[in-house]
Structure 1
Amino acid sequence: MTKTEALIQQLQLEAHVEGGFFRRTYESGERPLLDTAYGPRLRLTSILYLLTRTAPIGRWHLNRSDILHFYHLGEPIRYYLIDDCGQLSTHTLGPDPSQGHQLQLVVPGGVWKASHLPHGDYGLISEAVCPGFEFDDMSLGARAQLLHRFPQHAALIEQFTP
């Protein structure tokens, strides 16, 4: 068993629809739900999220809620964000701030996001989502839709959509 396979097993991770592996680790179910425009939501949820050499891409997707990402282990993970105005920003979550790595990253709700593991065996982060994550609040990016909306980012859109 490889170190990556052992980590997936030890952390009880499963395949994620956007790519990589995950496990929900917390939900604030003991607190009253938040009323949102899309219905009641948990106040906060959290997951572990792993990209690997064999599953290195988190494809383009959009969440309604704000997400805080926290680096934990392994190689740096690169994030690409496109806001509603089409502005692209690139961030690297990793262990070494002297190399420009961030230890945490905030992605506001309504921002398109893709991620990838540029090299190495794995990169492990966690995410905290507020209001809490619901699959109904996430949209996977369709290549044609994203190319129509953000043609200036065609190369990145094509790289991170099927």
Structure 2
Amino acid sequence: MKTTAEHWRKNLQLTQHVEGGSFRETYRSPLTIEREALPEGFAGARNASTGIYFLLEDGDFSAFHRIAADEMWHFYDGQPLHIYEIKPNGSLHVHRLGRDIAQGEQLQLVIPAGSWFASSVEETGGFALVGCTVAPGFDFADFELAERGALCRLFPQHAGLIALLTRS
């Protein structure tokens, strides 16, 4: 049976994500890390780790955003997911999350804390089902959705890409 985005959305009970795509949290560690033990950038205690399913389809994108923790991505099904990472120094790295290792795709990758990143499926009609693990755990207090003009002023060399992968 060929799986579809709708199959995954329904069977995994995914809902709309603010950055684009669909998701569902699958894990939130009961272990917490106190604020004093965390690096700068965290406003309070955090769960040690969190995990989600994330589904993205062609025609939609995950808008540029950044978080205060490292985020590990895991590929599950569908077509390759292109993840665009702008490091704090302005360098752009395009990661391809997928199964074809011989073509430079990766089954897992890590976006370090503080990098701006966005993603899209570039195969017409395609989708990607992935997972994301964040440590210390994800909290919306640590989430920053990019504002197009501000990000373009920071990284004018990537203005075209930023315009494509931001919503405002």
Task: Give RMSD over aligned pairs.
Answer: 1.3
Q: Under a length normalisation based on structure 1, what TM-score does the superposition of the two structures give?
A: 0.94
Secondary structure at 2:166's aligned position in 1?
coil
Q: How far apart, CA to CA, are the structure 2 residues paired with 1:106 and 1:32?
A: 22
1:10 aligns with 2:11: yes
Q: Under a length normalisation based on structure 2, what TM-score does the superposition of the two structures give?
A: 0.91
Structure 1: stretches of 5+ with no match in the other structure: none
Give the CA deviation at 1:121.
2.6
- Where does residue 147 of structure 1 map in the other structure? 152
Structure 2 CA distance for partners of 1:41 and 1:32, relative to 1, 3 Å: closer
- Where does residue 137 of structure 1 map in the other structure? 142
1:112 aligns with 2:113: no
Give the CA deviation at 1:53.
2.9
- Post-superposition Cα deviations, 1:26-62, rounded to whole Å, max 9, x if no partner, equal 0102x243423421000000000000135x3000001
- Where does residue 68 of structure 1 map in the other structure? 72
- Post-superposition Cα deviations, 1:111-134, rounded to whole Å, max 9, x if no partner, equal 000100001431011010000000
Secondary structure at 2:157's aligned position in 1?
helix
Give the CA deviation at 1:105.
0.8
1:84 aligns with 2:88: yes
- Where does residue 126 of structure 1 map in the other structure? 131
1:27 aligns with 2:28: yes
Which is worse superposed, 148-157 or 32-41?
32-41
Q: How far apart, CA to CA, are the structure 1 residues paired with 2:83 and 2:4?
A: 24
- Post-superposition Cα deviations, 1:47-104, rounded to whole Å, max 9, x if no partner, equal 00000135x3000001100000001100000011011111111110011101110111
Structure 2 CA distance for partners of 1:155 and 1:32, relative to 1, 3 Å: closer
- Where does residue 165 of structure 2 map in the other structure? 160
Secondary structure at 2:45's aligned position in 1?
strand
Give the CA deviation at 1:9.
0.7
Q: How far apart, CA to CA, are the structure 2 residues paired with 1:129 and 1:87?
A: 23
Q: Percent identity at matched positions?
A: 40
